[in-house]
Amino acid sequence: MNEQHHLNVIENTNRKQRVAEDQLAFGKEFTDHMFVMDYSTEKGWHHPRITPYEPITLDPAAMIFHYGQTVFEGLKAYRTEDDRILLFRPEKNFQRMNRSSERLSIPLLDEKLVLTYLEELLRIEKEWVPKTAGYSLYIRPFIIATEPNLSLAPSNTYQFYIILSPVGSYYREGIHPVKIFVEEEFTRAVRGGTGMAKTAGNYSAAYIAQQRATDKGYSQVLWLDGVEKKYIEEVGSMNVFFKIGEEVVTPLLNGSILEGITRLSIIELLKDWNVPVVERRVSIEEIFQAHKEGIVEEVFGTGTAAVVSPVGELTWNDEQMIINNGHTGKLSKKLYETLTAIQTGKQQDPYGWTVEIKE
């Protein structure tokens, strides 16, 4: 590790008043410190540091404000019952961040080195990892283009940040199925676009559809492919699975779907359990047809926030389908329980997925 990668720590001597754990909302409280690193074309990534959590100051012409050159990640740190702190497959997040950066013409990070910086930040902030069951410390790494220049070209300077937010349980009243609206008008992503990247523009572009679905009483939208408006892509910002008869089906990674780490883990779990699982194109028509035949047993979304989110109802134009009588399916429940048990150390991790933050 050369000089420019030496990690500096500037301690925050002015610690925050903590919000009671049962008052935590998602992504509104942040810890005392954050991680920052700079990039310039001359020096590459340099000057990694842990500093007090503090405002970012940028020129009004900084490229992030104009052309959206930015990527982010989302993962969680969990506290075990015996007070250890675990991450879940964090290397996958930094690998995906680099794939996102490639699409957005952002310089790549050293994935392994960045993980050691995150670990150091978590050692400093370990008291912030909630103790209540179901709670966790949400980790948000992100890169922003900082060059003050209105030219349409990749920035010559960037900053990489990691901020931490203690968060409550996604399921305060226990895991429960949601109602989903199949979106026909708006498109989340398309072949050749940025759907496979975790980049800002994909998310605000989806608000309008989400708002209309909420107004109609649905909790999320199901996105169809941008080309034919026929094939299923994702649910809200989750990947999606269907249990049809004895088989589990999920849309294949086609370039417009985000490669979820929960998705990957679920595929691996199912294979380990000898449950047939296939990644392929799935049309919305096929699902409604299978439902008419009575073989759609379970539908669920997957992602870091909810882990597994069962779908109780799907509405597509005038057609409505109720899944498993609106109850959480057996397999959905088992996947949720297994994954959360591994993530929180309640169950032994035979897959080597968890990474412990050691002193």
How many C-beta atoms surround the C-beta of residue 158 within 10 A? 26
Name the binder of 185 from a copy of itself, ligand PLP, none, CB < 5-8 A by kind.
a copy of itself
Our finding on whether 217 is near a copy of itself (CB under 8 A) is no
Name the binder of 304 from a copy of itself, ligand PLP, none, CB < 5-8 A by kind.
ligand PLP
**Residue (of 159, 210, 140, 146) closest to 181 by Cα position:** 210
CB of 287 to a copy of itself, least distance (A): 20
Residues 271-300 binding a copy of itself (CB under 8 A) are none
* Residue 101 near residue 144, CB atoms below 8 Å: no
Task: Name the residue nearer to a copy of itself (CB basis): 44 or 192.
Answer: 192
Q: Which pair of structure tokens corresponds to residue 187?
A: 């498109």
Name the binder of 134 from a copy of itself, ligand PLP, none, CB < 5-8 A by kind.
none
- Candidates 14, 42, 60, 358; binder of a copy of itself (CB under 8 A) is 60
CB of 263 to ligand PLP, least distance (A): 6
- Candidates 9, 19, 133, 153; binder of a copy of itself (CB under 8 A) is 153
CB of 158 to a copy of itself, least distance (A): 12
Between the CA of residue 122 and those of 1, 93, 105, 202, what are the distances in Å?
Answer: 20, 16, 29, 29
Our finding on whether 261 is near ligand PLP (CB under 6 A) is yes
- Candidates 225, 234, 297, 298; binder of ligand PLP (CB under 6 A) is 234
**Widest CA span of the chain, in angstroms?**
65
Our finding on whether 264 is near a copy of itself (CB under 8 A) is no
Non-local CB neighbours of 96 within 8 Å, separated by 6+ positions: 73, 198, 259, 261
State the Cα angle at 278 between 86 and 335, rounded to 5°: 35
Our finding on whether 192 is near a copy of itself (CB under 8 A) is yes
Task: Name the residue nearer to a copy of itself (CB basis): 187 or 265.
Answer: 187
Name the binder of 239 from a copy of itself, ligand PLP, none, CB < 5-8 A by kind.
ligand PLP
Our finding on whether 205 is near a copy of itself (CB under 8 A) is yes
Three-state SS across 114-141? HHHHHHHHHHHCHHHCCCCCCCEEEEEE
* Residue 266 near residue 273, CB atoms below 8 Å: no
Name the binder of 234 from a copy of itself, ligand PLP, none, CB < 5-8 A by kind.
ligand PLP
Burial 65-103 (b: 16+ CB within 10 A, else e): eebbbbbbbbbbbbbeeeebbbbbbbebbbbbbbebbeb
Our finding on whether 215 is near a copy of itself (CB under 8 A) is no
Q: How many residues bind ligand PLP (CB under 6 A)?
A: 14
- Name the site residues for ligand PLP (rule: CB under 6 A): 74, 198, 234, 237-239, 258, 260-263, 302-304
